[in-house]
Chain A
């Protein structure tokens, strides 16, 4: 059980407004720090929203939480979500994840809804921040994802346009040869851009008029700005691709244009694992997905995560875009059941996305890192486990969600008529 010093609790209740100046000590936890280290028993001190100490020696804190026998991990970062931009999948009026007009420069940042019911549910399952991505646009490269820390229900705490997305492969319609040709034309055009030619809206519009590919694609100045950022500012680019031959072609493109490339899906990565390892391309995979869902994914295999880890490939996990982003924990558990290391799986859920997407000072239990922490009621890689405590930016987060409210409404206080229960 978690016990909070009574005096401290009273203090908390009275001085709620100065919560952040209180230090919080989590002691005797089994710590997985996110940096593929084995678990160790230790104490973590939170001060001013940051992790002040991680140690095996005794510490003092204003609030003390005994986590003996409990696992402590960094907050889980979900890296391929529509959290905050899709409320109900089949209701287009609740969806803000696509654009018919903009392509490369389509950003979802301004649509993000911190009050979405999806957020408290995922947070109560251990997701502390999200890399929210739009749907693929008409252009094979295009659409910008933003990063959001889930510490508030009202205010948006986000970083705009931290990643671009794209896709190649059996989507039907165009030949993949055409897809790659469009990509290369766009990248060639992007490398020809000079910042001094892109000062005014009019300049950019002129550049588009002079470029066959930009004109054919009906690009807007907004698209061109994003394209410039991609090749000149090392913006991470996530391309969805699965077939082994596509993965090899993408390795070539990374080399040719110096892209900061990440591949998502990568169901056939096992067939070209050595080449991927050499290229240093991180992969976003769903380790539980072993279905040959298309002719691009014939090599889908439940041992993919373990096989890729063995070659030192950086892995990040995703789950279907389906409101339950905490399913990445289940995927990680399945990866471990099928040969991946436990600490490696924890890293794929925490520090790996921070390092790959430059998400700041998070994702790890170490001195000086932002205190996004979870105390689990059992092994976090068991899908049946839940957090007992979630800290985001050092704040102890209330884990109530619409789901816990509805559960109470139908399991407690049943004597009252339904519409009059809490």
Chain B
């Protein structure tokens, strides 16, 4: 909250230079006050509570405990033998910007026309009728972070959305979620541009590319600050620096307002990116994909950088050759458990099964000799991605006062046989198995048979 106040004070002070022109207009679904009774709970904070109640009022979690009393205005859901978790959050999705069907006319995730496109925003590519959102919702996903692709060194801004299909992008945006910046190391940018005989064509070309951009951004920001710090009288005499979309984004990173999400596979490249971040005094929030993160797990923990990782993807590129299934666990356990591990999907199938991917990563960690509880592994798909998306104060765990983003599972969510029975977003039912709450996009309507939706339970 304090952060927000500071932010707004700053905006007023700065003459609203950075007012967000695409502000969230999200409105939640109609909600009820709900008591979920007798559930087994992973709270997303590393705790497990058995046969415990959760009370939801005015869209918020207001209590967790045994035998919570309620009056008859509450909807009571018996969750005996069921499991409850926070809504699952995916920190790496391309839904909407690479929607299904994967046709060229909607493949809008990579502005691969220049290696630095900090001016583009993923949210301006999103197709709101992507039928994949509803599939992810049935996997318990209540919010996700949509990123541009990895063709570019600096690919543009990402956006965090609530998993509720709406007819405008603004109305899906997670209110007050910070913007993010997608950066990419390694093979992709050097392949895309090297094949065109232009820079970068090497990893050293990649590094030079980021640094040149940050040098420009530093100069832009200092001109801006110089102007902002003038008195009102002096401002009238001076020219207001002309806005530059690319530099707006990079300056936002340097000011600490925009979170850096960095696609990077190899250990030494991640270390190089940490050096560059220090050189220009910005923070990297998370390395994404990081197949070699386990090789520098302590370095990531020391620098407070999350590893957003797959359980076991590998081999599709040389930089993804050194996979170990304990990667996530090793990152989690760095510096005696100070690491920040996230299971991400980057995939419209994977996003539906993040709980099972987490279970794979957890088992690999146990086999490697770590002592990690299921309750802690649940953080990998809830609170840790919420922190990396900058929405942890609102969601990501079942803490009193947070948004009621809640999933009820038929069985322990680390089992492949667990099905999502019900999903609440902001205390409202967004999906319920075998009920009328079956979300679908316009794309699904009448497309196979005029009288039916594409899939019906």
Write out the residue numbers on chain A whose beta carbons fall within 8 Å of the beta carbon of B353. 288, 330, 334
> In the complex, are the beta carbons of A90 and B187 less than 8 A apart?
yes
B101 touches A294 (CB 8 A): yes
Interfacial residues of chain B within 321-339, with CB under 8 A of chain A in the complex? 321-326, 330
Residues of B within 8 A of A214 (CB): none
Given contacts A334-B416, A383-B356, A403-B325, contact A291 B348 (CB under 8 A): yes
Q: Within the assembled complex, what's the spacing in Å between the Cα atoms of A322 and B415?
A: 23
Q: Tell whether, in the assembled complex, residue B100 and residue A292 are in contact, meaning their CB atoms are under 8 Å apart.
A: yes
CB contacts (< 8 Å) of A334 on chain B: these are 353, 416
Residues of A within 8 A of B330 (CB): 410-411
The proximity string for A residues 392-412 relative to B, scoring 1 for CB distances below 8 Å and 0 otherwise, is: 000000000001001100110
Docked pose: A333 CA to B419 CA in angstroms? 12
Contact in complex: B101, A292 (CB < 8 Å): yes
Which of B191, B325, B353, B414 gathers most chain A CB within 10 Å? B325
Q: Which residues of B contact A411 (CB under 8 A)?
A: 326, 330, 368-369
Q: Is the CB of B315 within 8 A of A88?
A: yes
A80 sits at the interface (CB 8 A)? no
* Residue on B nearest A326 in the bound complex, by CB: B312
User: B363: nearest residue on chain A (CB-CB)?
Assistant: A384
User: Which of B415-429 touch A at CB < 8 Å?
Assistant: 415-419
Query: A376 → chain B, closest Cβ, in Å?
Result: 12
State the Cβ distance, A240 to closest chain B Cβ, in Å.
Answer: 16
Q: Which of B325, B359, B418 contacts A337 (CB 8 A)?
A: B418
Say yes or no: is B102 at the interface (Cβ < 8 Å to chain A). yes
Using known A-B contacts A292-B101, A411-B368, determine if residue A271 contacts B448 with beta carbons closer than 8 Å. yes
B316 within 8 A of A: yes
In residues 107-160 of chain A, which contact B (Cβ within 8 Å)? 118
CB distance from B296 to the nearest CB of A (A): 10
Kindly state the separation between the CA atoms of A383 and B103 in the bound complex, as whole angstroms. 31
Interface size class of A (residues with CB under 8 A): 35 or more
> A288-B353, A291-B132 are contacts. A322–B315 as well, Cβ < 8 Å?
yes
State whether the Cβ of A299 lies closer than 8 Å to any Cβ in chain B.
yes
B371 CB, min distance to chain A CBs, angstroms: 13
Q: A277 in the interface, Cβ–Cβ < 8 Å?
A: no
A299 contacts B294, CB within 8 Å? no
The answer to whether B101 touches A295 (Cβ under 8 A) is yes
In whole angstroms, how far apart are the Cα atoms of A300 and B414 in the complex? Answer: 25
B187 CB contacts on chain A under 8 angstroms: 90
The CA of A386 and the CA of B366, in the complex, are separated in Å by: 12
Asked if A383 and B318 make an inter-chain contact with CB atoms under 8 angstroms apart, the answer reads no
Q: Is B313 an interface residue (CB 8 A)?
A: yes
Q: A383-B416, A403-B323 are in contact. Are A323 and B368 (CB under 8 A)?
A: no
| B152 CB → nearest A CB, Å | 17
Q: C-beta contact mask, A280-295 vs B, less than 8 Å → 1, else 0?
A: 0000000011111111
Query: A residues within 8 A CB of B313?
Result: 322, 324
B76 located at the interface, meaning its Cβ lies under 8 Å from any Cβ of chain A in the complex: no
Contact B454 A410 (CB under 8 A): no
Of B100, B318, B416, which is within 8 A of A91 by CB? Answer: B318
Cβ-closest chain A residue relative to B317: A90
Q: How large is the interface on B (under 10, 10 to 19, 20 to 34, 35 or more residues)?
A: 35 or more
Q: Are B417 and A337 in contact (CB under 8 A)?
A: yes
Q: Which residues of B contact A410 (CB under 8 A)?
A: 294-295, 324, 330
Contact of A384 among B318, B349, B359 (CB under 8 A): B359
**Chain A hits for B312, CB < 8 A:** 324
| A-chain residues with CB within 8 Å of residue B294 when the two chains form the complex | 407, 410
| Contact partners of A294 in chain B: CB under 8 A | 101-103
Task: Name the contact of B363 in the complex, choosing from A271, A292, A300, A386 (C-beta under 8 A).
Answer: A386
Closest chain A CB from B454 CB (angstroms): 6
**Roughly how many angstroms separate A383 CA and B315 CA in the complex, as a whole number?**
19
- Asked whether any CB of chain A lies closer than 8 Å to the CB of B362, the reply is yes
Q: Does B11 contact A (CB under 8 A)?
A: no
B314 at the A/B interface (Cβ < 8 Å)? Answer: yes
Chain A 294-327 interface 0/1 with B at a Cβ cutoff of 8 Å (1 = within): 1101111100000000000000000000111000
Q: Mark B361-391, 1 if CB is under 8 A from A, else 0.
A: 0110001110000000000000000000000
CB neighbours of B100 from chain A (8 A): 291-293
Q: Which of A261-285 contact B (CB under 8 A)?
A: 271
Cα(A410)–Cα(B325), bound, Å: 12
Residues of chain A within 8 A of B415, CB atoms compared: 382
Contact mask for chain B residues 8-50; partner A; CB cutoff 8 A; 1 contact, 0 none: 0000000000000000000000000000000000000000000
Closest to B443 in A: A292
Q: Can you list 12 pairs linking A and B with CB atoms under 8 Å apart?
A: A88-B317, A90-B191, A90-B316, A291-B348, A295-B103, A299-B448, A322-B313, A323-B314, A330-B353, A403-B323, A406-B322, A410-B330
Which residues of B are at the interface with A, using a C-beta cutoff of 8 A? 100-103, 131-132, 135, 187, 191, 294-295, 312-318, 321-326, 330, 348-349, 352-353, 356-357, 359-360, 362-363, 367-369, 414-419, 447-448, 454-455
Given known contacts A336-B416, A384-B414, what 14 new A-B pairs fall within 8 Å (CB)?
A89-B315, A299-B454, A300-B455, A322-B315, A323-B315, A323-B316, A336-B417, A337-B418, A337-B419, A382-B415, A403-B325, A407-B326, A410-B295, A410-B330
